[in-house]
A and B are shown apart, each in its own frame.
Chain A
Amino acid sequence: MNIVSFTVMSFGLFFLLVTVIGLIRLPGFFTRVHAVSKSETLGLALVFAGLMLHEGMTLVSMKYALIILFVALANPVGAHVLTRAAVRTGIMPTRTRKPIDAPVPPQTSEGETQ
């Protein structure tokens, strides 16, 4: 295993570690989805890129590329479906501090009394 593939794979494992830290530490469901869906895709793609560099130009390497392509398509779609289900069943974003300014009332047209 040469130094290039080892380095790329180490970066991938680092991003997977970032995923775990984000999933444990972040408050609220939506921030956790944000942590998982992005850094996990990148970490898995880098791990498989390192394995491709180790493998060379073989059929197994092409299957690794296929896995990268599929995960890059499927992981954001899965996160979106999960988040949409959470929103439609009433999960709200966690508010860690009070809102700075109240929501602005809708603008009324001239002459219309509200």
Chain B
Amino acid sequence: MNEFTGAAGFLIVLMFGLCYRLILGPRVYNRLLAAGAIGTFTIALLAVMGYLFERPDMFVDLALTYALLNFIGTVAVAKYLENHSEEREPGEPPEGIAG
């Protein structure tokens, strides 16, 4: 029981708070934003967990890989939503978008 345990528990509580917007987000964009934020919090959680398991040299590689994959995933889904939804003028009610 040290500072890293408290930091990891605090990060997990914050990620449950982000799950509020992930589940109840009005549209798919709010959900994608919350999912990206959870992924970014996971980077910090992985780095802190390295000290809990006393292997920070291994967990930092996991955190770095997770940072790359999180960015790629967010950009890929955002570009998919941009290209595969119906063309409409800004301000027109966006019906038909999932979420």
Contacts and interface: CB of A to CB of B under 8 A. Distances in A.
B47 A51 contact: yes
B3 A23 contact: no
B37 interface: yes
A33 to B, nearest CB: 6
Interface in B44-78: 44, 47-48, 56-57, 60-61, 63-64, 67-68, 71, 74-75, 78
A91 B67 CA distance: 28
Contact of B67 (A51, A60, A74, A77): A74
B41 A71 contact: no
Contacts, number: 127
Interface of A (DSSP majority class): helix
Nearest to A48: B47
B29 A86 contact: yes
B78 A20 contact: no
A81 B27 contact: no
Interface of B: 2-4, 7, 10-11, 14, 17-18, 20-21, 26-27, 29-30, 32-34, 36-37, 40-41, 43-44, 47-48, 56-57, 60-61, 63-64, 67-68, 71, 74-75, 78-79, 81-82, 85, 88-94, 97
20 contacts: A13-B11, A17-B14, A19-B37, A23-B18, A24-B17, A29-B27, A47-B44, A59-B57, A70-B64, A70-B68, A70-B71, A74-B71, A82-B32, A84-B78, A89-B82, A89-B94, A90-B88, A90-B89, A90-B93, A90-B94
